[in-house]
Amino acid sequence: MINVAVLGYGTVGSGVVEVIETNKKDIERKIGTSIEVKYILDLRDFP
């Protein structure tokens, strides 16, 4: 299992999370293990 932390949740950070979530099955098939966005690090609070 690969856990990913994203530093910042602006234009780029939110785009990275969206790409990972949208293509999760393909990414997992290519890397051979599961992937999860575990942390999003930002100064602002998000629900």
Instruction: Tell me the pLDDT tens digit for each residue of 3-45.
Output: 999 999 999 999 999 999 999 999 999 999 999 999 999 888 7
Q: Residue 44 has what pLDDT? A: 82
Q: Residue 11 has what pLDDT? A: 93
- Is 11 within a domain? yes
> For the chain, how big is the Rg over CA atoms in Å?
11
CA-based nearest residue to 17, from 5, 33, 28? 5
Q: Residue 20 has what pLDDT? A: 96
- Is 46 within a domain? no
| Domains in the chain, number | 1
CA-based nearest residue to 8, from 46, 45, 38, 43? 43
Tokens of 4: 């990913």
Q: How far apart are CA 6 and CA 3, in angstroms?
A: 10
- Is 47 within a domain? no
Q: Is 8:41 a contact under the CB 8 Å cutoff?
A: yes
Domain range enclosing 13: 2-41
